[in-house]
Structure 1
Amino acid sequence: MKRLGWGGCRLDRELDRHWLRWALLAWAAVAVWYLWQRWPQVQWLALGDTDDNMRLMQVRAWLAGQGWYDLRQYRLDPAFGGFDIHWSRVVDLPLAGLILLFKPFVGTAWAERLASGIAPLLPLAVVMTALSVTARRLIAPAAWPVALIVLMGCTSTMLMFAPLRIDHHGWQLACLAVTVAGLADPRRARGGATVGLSSAVSLTIGLEMLPYCAMAGAIVALRWIWDAAEARRMLVYGLSLGGGSALGFALFASHANQAMRCDALTPVWLSVMVAAGLLLFLLALANPSARWARLGLAAVAGAAILGGFAGFYPQCLGRPEGVSQALADTWLNNVREARPIYRHPLRTAFPVAVLPVIGILGALFATWRWRRSERVVGWAAIALFTAFAAAMLLWQVRAGPAAQMLSVPGATALVWVVVPWCLGHRWIWVRIGGSVAAFLLVSGLFAGFVLRYLPQDPPSNRSVAIRNANASCARFWAMQPLDRLPRGTIFTQVDLGPRLIALTRHNAVAGPYHRNERAILDVHRAFTGSAERARGLIARHQADYLLICRDMSETTVYRARNPNGFYAQIVGGRVPEWLEPISLPENSPFLLFRVERERRAGA
């Protein structure tokens, strides 16, 4: 990139010397813009995802006196004593801290709103800093602004940091960005510690990034196999991973997560991380000089980890959620984000996949370009990591945010080479038009322009109704009339449960969490079965009310399983005598009924 400056100030020198100051200033500008853009949603606490609502409820319960290690949600399925959430309190800390900070000045309600708006922006600062460090280490000291511009075009990634996105995804992406910076670190001990600790923090938060943590560990081991001098990196990585995971388990594992389960950092995964860290530490200490010997030892260690895992924890070889086939067929297999990218429409898949492809090409190009430099090892690691992240899209499209973020270094490397070449061309139309076109192309930003020309099916009346219902039923104004009723337990759709308990004083029966299997199945069986069966299931959960959001996306499953089931009967006006309709405002998207006490008791 050409040296730029004005007056007596060299811009590239300023961007190098004071890069952190300017990167944090850029983050502050993005944060202010995000809050301004989404202020109406913040004002109405429009938490759009079930996990965001549940995260707020978890923090509320903790601040109200619930134990640090007690993550049971007592307002879901209270007839059975509530149910456990497989999360940890790592992500609760910044949210709770912001609430306590604002509460003396604006009261509890507004403190929750402000905290929910600001908290997701904190991990974005970590991501922007980590990607800036990676660009400085692998491309050029002044290349970090380009990386941040490319990041702004990662639509799937940036959505994880939007105000009100208070669940754990943003923090796990932050851990992943720090891992990448560690892989790019030329200082071996510091890089190993960075990768190990960031992986341990990510696993303490949740297991969603477990494949990426495993891949990072594999890359550290591969670097050692290739170069014995990398033993120091692997030694420190092994200690950091094992020790960090043990510390995370001790500080954050809930009472429920101290059982031998497969869906969180339980003793199962703790033993795996400690064993893996110990073996890598021992291999680094041995550090034979022959490359074939290092490869053989690494293969034996990997086989020992995999064999031990299969032998000691065979229950974890399938789905980590450990759900029954009935729940998988009824609910889990119908989650859209769990489907591979090729099963989604082109208009959905194209903008997600474009940047990962560019990132792979850019990382490969950079590996070749710096093949005679010390940077080649870092670029080879980035290329391998980016390719792995892109391959994850073939498993689940929910890997999109991570795949896009990991593509930023490769795309930045292309921008750093291609755009200056265009700017230095002797033809003016290449200098101007070519520079703009090249930047849009290699940064992936062109996807937004192409998207409007991709074919799409016209929305059906059904899809429009579903979209409207999903939005309307979750809004504050729709839920508010429910608080005029005496407090009770409301039997309603699974996806509506967390929002209901977040906005009203009522309890709900179910939420979309796999440890809530009994309640999820009961809700689906009630709405897809006969009225008499629904009556018994509603009585089983001691519900006082029945609430139905017409045409919510979940109802497509009900209709598909039984077009004449209880849900279809209710929305069709066939209300059984044991349900008493309750009037709601004319514009309400709900149908609400009181379950008659005498009939419920006798059911």
Structure 2
Amino acid sequence: MAQRKDETLEQRAVGLLERHWKLLVIIVWLGFAAWSVYSKWPDIRFFNLADTDDNMRMMQVRGLLAGQDWYDLRQYRMNVPAGLDMHWSRLVDLPLAGLILFLKPLLGGATAERAAVAIAPFLPFLVMLFALALTARRLISPRAYLLVFLALFFAGSTNGMFRPTRIDHHGWQLAFLAIAVAGIADPRKVRGGLTLGFATAASLAIGLELLIYLAIGGVAMTLFWVQERDEAERLRAYAVALGGGTAAAFLLFASNANWQAVCDALSPVWLANALVGSALLFGLAWISPSDWKHRLALGVGAGLIIAAFHAFMWPHCLQRLEGVSPEVEQLWLSHVREARPVWAHGWRVAPLIVALPITGIVGWGVLVWLRRNDPEALRRTLAASAPGLVAALLLMWQTRTGPAAQMLATIGAAALLWWVVPKVWNATRGIVRVLAVTAVVLICAGAAVPFLMEQLPPKPQTNRTIAIGKANRLCNSLWGLRAVGLQPKGMVFTFVDLGPRLINVTHHDAVTGPYHRNGEQIGDVMNAFRGNADQARRIMRKYGADYLLTCPNSSTTTIFMSETPKGFYGQLSRGQVPGWLQPVQLPAGSPYRMWRVID
């Protein structure tokens, strides 16, 4: 009797998991949001936008709300009066601007901005949760989505993109990538094709960082059709959504600058590629010869045509899309941490990034093996696993692929848990069973490595590393910049990475920020601090600088002191200040040193 009652309760619980999955997704989302606000409250309260992109995004939104033209994305508080050309999109500005407009009458301007930067990152996180849950339900089991959320708990790089104050575009791109994978996994052909096509177009409207994963989706749609002629419906729907969606995204969101043939954003380059590709794929779906070998030949031919079209029409886009000069690559881009391979970050950091992706690869392999006797499910599983595998491999090139690699790995980790845990549970009893299942969860969810790393003694801190950490915190703080902001408005010549924060929280203008389209300004700033005083004087005159601002001991200074210790910054740090600079008195304990340019 008790056994039947237990079985009934179990069946009820299973039914609740299956029927009310959307409610459970929302509960998980609310829990994440509540904990994130609690843990990040000091950053919210003091408007601590730690990343340069978050500060610049806020400036873009302020410009839009102040009447800046929808298609004008230049940042006029930098490189005055011409401004800096930004390769971003208004699509990400919309939720932030909407929140500020809604909250401003209730809270006031400053508080509305604080609330907006706290709330906005949760919007793409909710989208991502639903997309990941759909993928798990479609490929693993209708109840497996909770295991995805368990794995996501250990995805530190991914979750970091959705924390309060993280308002740049990466969260939305991850959300659209998750939707794209859910479209690939969809057993309903037309809906799946439309989902992938529109998600691809939306992601392209934001940026091209995920282009390779989106291209894999297009290849998958073609291979589906090659293997099974009935997949023509999916391919046709994808082609229509890709072409129409990309055209709409270009017309709605491409800035004035992006109407030129630029390579680093949705421009005529990528619009033409998408239109040609979608037309060819639509034609393939329309023809659909009965022999799979003929379909394969047509698919390969279409791919070659697209590649040839791109190479012939846009040869300047066959290299790195940033298009920076070799000098700027050496002076700046080579020092960007996220542009380095994962192994370059050292043994304390690299395992934290790769643990979950490796688990995910194993789990995807298990899922493929489990679906080996179902051709239709097998092809969807293989295709859905491909972006995650590529993202994991790309970690060997750039660490910036970590958030995508971890997010996509959660499906594989959930599949591994779904397969392993019942076997362990049925093979043991009592406390041994509980311990065994706990160990399996930790290992399969990619948590074992981070857990073990936390048990190691912390890396010894030297006086130098302590000083660097303190300077980085204080120079980004409102307190640190308050005294700088009290000086009469002017053009401030400062480090590349300080520019966005400076213009966000003070009335001053700056020369540049870390954005590749502005290679001339980045190169000038780096050369000014690395060269001699006369060169620095000429460069500052070029930009009409009123002030010179430095943050001693911050991360940027380590580059100057290690590579050019006798350069201009090295001279300033040793007190060798030229006569054309007059010290500006800042409060005791200020992290900054500031001079007025008097000649």
Q: What TM-score do you get using the length of structure 2 for normalisation?
A: 0.97
CA-atom RMSD in angstroms: 1.7
SS where residue 30 of structure 1 aligns? helix
1:223-263 CA-to-partner distances (Å, cap 9, x unmatched) read 21122121111111111111111000000000011111101
Residues 257-276 of structure 1 mapped to structure 2, 5 A cutoff: 257-276=258-277
Deviates further, 464-473 or 536-545: 464-473
1:105 partner amino acid: L
For 2:524, the equivalent position in structure 1 comes to 522
**Residues 504, 95 of structure 1: CA spacing in aligned structure 2 closer, same or farther, 3 A cutoff?**
same
Query: Are the counterparts in 2 of residues 55 and 166 from structure 1 also a CA contact under 8 Å?
Result: yes
For 1:551, the equivalent position in structure 2 comes to 553
1:109-155 CA-to-partner distances (Å, cap 9, x unmatched) read 01000000110111000011111111111111122111112112111
For 2:256, the equivalent position in structure 1 comes to 255
Once the two structures are TM-superposed, the CA of residue 472 in structure 1 deviates from its matched residue by 1.2
Alpha-carbon distance in structure 1 between the residues aligned to 2:215 and 2:189:
19
Once the two structures are TM-superposed, the CA of residue 6 in structure 1 deviates from its matched residue by 7.5
Query: Are the counterparts in 1 of residues 388 and 408 from structure 2 also a CA contact under 8 Å?
Result: yes
Question: Which of 33, 36, 47 is residue 34 of structure 1 equivalent to?
Answer: 36
1:511 partner amino acid: G
**Residues 587, 5 of structure 1: CA spacing in aligned structure 2 closer, same or farther, 3 A cutoff?**
farther
1:18 partner amino acid: H
Residues 1:211 and 2:205 aligned together: no
For 1:233, the equivalent position in structure 2 comes to 234
**% of aligned pairs identical?**
47
SS where residue 394 of structure 1 aligns? coil
Residues 1:404 and 2:406 aligned together: yes
**Residues 6, 351 of structure 1: CA spacing in aligned structure 2 closer, same or farther, 3 A cutoff?**
farther
Query: Are the counterparts in 1 of residues 71 and 253 from structure 2 also a CA contact under 8 Å?
Result: yes
Residues 570-581 of structure 1 mapped to structure 2, 5 A cutoff: 570-581=572-583
Question: Which of 479, 482, 485 is residue 487 of structure 2 equivalent to?
Answer: 485
1:430-474 CA-to-partner distances (Å, cap 9, x unmatched) read 411111101111111112212135687634433332222221101
Residues 124-203 of structure 1 mapped to structure 2, 5 A cutoff: 124-203=125-204
1:493-512 CA-to-partner distances (Å, cap 9, x unmatched) read 10000000001011011100
For 1:586, the equivalent position in structure 2 comes to 588
SS where residue 592 of structure 1 aligns? strand
1:326-354 CA-to-partner distances (Å, cap 9, x unmatched) read 11111112211111112221211111111
For 1:513, the equivalent position in structure 2 comes to 515
1:313 partner amino acid: W
SS where residue 319 of structure 2 aligns? coil
For 1:109, the equivalent position in structure 2 comes to 110
For 1:327, the equivalent position in structure 2 comes to 328
Query: Are the counterparts in 2 of residues 204 and 245 from structure 1 also a CA contact under 8 Å?
Result: yes
Once the two structures are TM-superposed, the CA of residue 565 in structure 1 deviates from its matched residue by 0.9
For 1:65, the equivalent position in structure 2 comes to 67
SS where residue 554 of structure 1 aligns? helix
1:153 partner amino acid: F
For 1:435, the equivalent position in structure 2 comes to 437
**Residues 430, 370 of structure 1: CA spacing in aligned structure 2 closer, same or farther, 3 A cutoff?**
farther
For 2:369, the equivalent position in structure 1 comes to 368
For 2:280, the equivalent position in structure 1 comes to 279
Alpha-carbon distance in structure 2 between the residues aligned to 1:5 and 1:545:
75
SS where residue 594 of structure 2 aligns? strand
Deviates further, 367-376 or 535-544: 367-376
**Residues 497, 280 of structure 1: CA spacing in aligned structure 2 closer, same or farther, 3 A cutoff?**
same
Alpha-carbon distance in structure 1 between the residues aligned to 2:352 and 2:537:
46
Question: Which of 528, 533, 536 is residue 534 of structure 1 equivalent to?
Answer: 536
Alpha-carbon distance in structure 1 between the residues aligned to 2:547 and 2:353:
42
1:310 partner amino acid: A
For 1:381, the equivalent position in structure 2 comes to 383
Query: Are the counterparts in 2 of residues 5 and 11 from structure 1 also a CA contact under 8 Å?
Result: no
SS where residue 162 of structure 2 aligns? coil
Once the two structures are TM-superposed, the CA of residue 412 in structure 1 deviates from its matched residue by 0.5
For 1:390, the equivalent position in structure 2 comes to 392
**Number of equivalences:** 595
Alpha-carbon distance in structure 2 between the residues aligned to 1:459 and 1:299:
56
Residues 292-331 of structure 1 mapped to structure 2, 5 A cutoff: 292-331=293-332
Alpha-carbon distance in structure 2 between the residues aligned to 1:52 and 1:565:
31
SS where residue 163 of structure 2 aligns? coil
Query: Are the counterparts in 2 of residues 3 and 12 from structure 1 also a CA contact under 8 Å?
Result: no
Q: What TM-score do you get using the length of structure 1 for normalisation?
A: 0.96
Query: Are the counterparts in 1 of residues 84 and 512 from structure 2 also a CA contact under 8 Å?
Result: no
Alpha-carbon distance in structure 1 between the residues aligned to 2:8 and 2:544:
73
Alpha-carbon distance in structure 2 between the residues aligned to 1:102 and 1:548:
36
Query: Are the counterparts in 2 of residues 580 and 594 from structure 1 also a CA contact under 8 Å?
Result: yes
1:152 partner amino acid: F
- Ranges in structure 2 where 5+ consecutive residues have no aligned partner: none
**Residues 387, 263 of structure 1: CA spacing in aligned structure 2 closer, same or farther, 3 A cutoff?**
same
Query: Are the counterparts in 2 of residues 4 and 12 from structure 1 also a CA contact under 8 Å?
Result: no
Alpha-carbon distance in structure 2 between the residues aligned to 1:43 and 1:140:
42
Query: Are the counterparts in 2 of residues 5 and 12 from structure 1 also a CA contact under 8 Å?
Result: no
Deviates further, 134-143 or 503-512: 134-143
Once the two structures are TM-superposed, the CA of residue 168 in structure 1 deviates from its matched residue by 0.2
Deviates further, 2-11 or 533-542: 2-11
Alpha-carbon distance in structure 1 between the residues aligned to 2:509 and 2:210:
32
Alpha-carbon distance in structure 1 between the residues aligned to 2:382 and 2:405:
17
Alpha-carbon distance in structure 2 between the residues aligned to 1:97 and 1:276:
35
For 1:22, the equivalent position in structure 2 comes to 24
Query: Are the counterparts in 2 of residues 347 and 456 from structure 1 also a CA contact under 8 Å?
Result: no
